[in-house]
Amino acid sequence: MRFSTFHTHTCYSDGKNTPEEMLRAAIAKGFAGYGFSDHSFTPCDTSYCMKLEQYPEYISCINGLKEKYAGQIEVLCGIENDYYSDTDPEDFDYMIGSVHYLVIGGTCYPIDHSERQQRECIAKECGGSAVEMAKRYYEKVAEHIRRTKPEIVGHFDVITKFGVIDETSEEYRRAALEAADEALNYTRIFEVNTGAISRGYKKLPYPSDFILRRVLERGGDVILSSDTHSAATIDTFFPESVELLRGIGFRRLAVMTANGVGYTGI
């Protein structure tokens, strides 16, 4: 099958390559579609995201690539919209809704950047309880999706990245599933994100099996995302993810197109 990915980063945010380098790598791999989704501006941490004044240049760069490579690959201009951003969806072809921070009492804790920072948030703000942090995170996820209604729910359980949370805990699972149910009321597509595999943090994509089963049960869809930050990892773990999804019972993948959401059978 021909793959596509709609969660990708370039040097406009924290990726290594230019948009055109990424697109050429996708074309070389025979991709059908490619969506750019650089990080939205977050005032609490400007170290990895686009600046607001870069948005017009980013959009016009991607629009130029749409024209240049028309007929070879479908190109879309999206954005990975963080909870703490104020993004106009009209500016982009689609949005991925993600939560990367918990801002508590004026302190910004990145929750997927390093294990040290995640543990600091647990120790200082959550009474030492990883599940408490997870609950706060999932409340933000549910609120973000309800408020912004993005096309795609981004790396839903990214807080499991460092293995700090006990995913077998009933309390944890309840918080995750409640947020999944709420998100599904507004956004039908959850991404299956392989980014932590290519960066060596995880052996399987986000989200975990029990969450994917809930998405299927509730009639939701999945989309394959590499969340790639370099041209070398555009399709990491894609064939394996398709097998995994088939095993759970999914029979189609969502794909973004210029005319809205489409589907490919698996």
Q: How many whole angstroms separate alpha carbon 107 and alpha carbon 113?
A: 15
Residue 195's SS3 state is helix
Smallest separation, CB 80 to Zn ion (Å): 5
Smallest separation, CB 225 to Zn ion (Å): 8
The closest of 18, 16, 89 to 57, measured between CA atoms, is 18
Task: For Zn ion, give the closer residue by CB, 40 or 98.
Answer: 98
Q: How many whole angstroms separate alpha carbon 115 and alpha carbon 14?
A: 19
Asked whether the beta carbons of 12 and 59 are under 8 A apart, the reply is no
Smallest separation, CB 247 to Zn ion (Å): 26
The closest of 220, 224, 163 to 192, measured between CA atoms, is 224
Task: For Zn ion, give the closer residue by CB, 47 or 259.
Answer: 47
The closest of 2, 9, 77 to 253, measured between CA atoms, is 2
Q: Residue 32 gets which letter from DSSP?
A: S
Task: For Zn ion, give the closer residue by CB, 98 or 217.
Answer: 98
**CA 39: distance to chain centroid?**
10
Phi and psi of 49, rounded to 5°? -105, 175
Smallest separation, CB 143 to Zn ion (Å): 17
Task: For Zn ion, give the closer residue by CB, 80 or 221.
Answer: 80
Smallest separation, CB 154 to Zn ion (Å): 6
Asked whether the beta carbons of 37 and 14 are under 8 A apart, the reply is no
Smallest separation, CB 212 to Zn ion (Å): 18
Smallest separation, CB 7 to Zn ion (Å): 6
Footprint on this chain of Zn ion (rule: CB under 5 A): 80, 98, 227
Asked whether the beta carbons of 2 and 29 are under 8 A apart, the reply is no
Task: For Zn ion, give the closer residue by CB, 150 or 171.
Answer: 150
Q: Residue 254 gets which letter from DSSP?
A: E
Task: For Zn ion, give the closer residue by CB, 80 or 93.
Answer: 80
Task: For Zn ion, give the closer residue by CB, 87 or 98.
Answer: 98
Which helix H or strand E contains 98, and what residues bound it?
strand 94-98
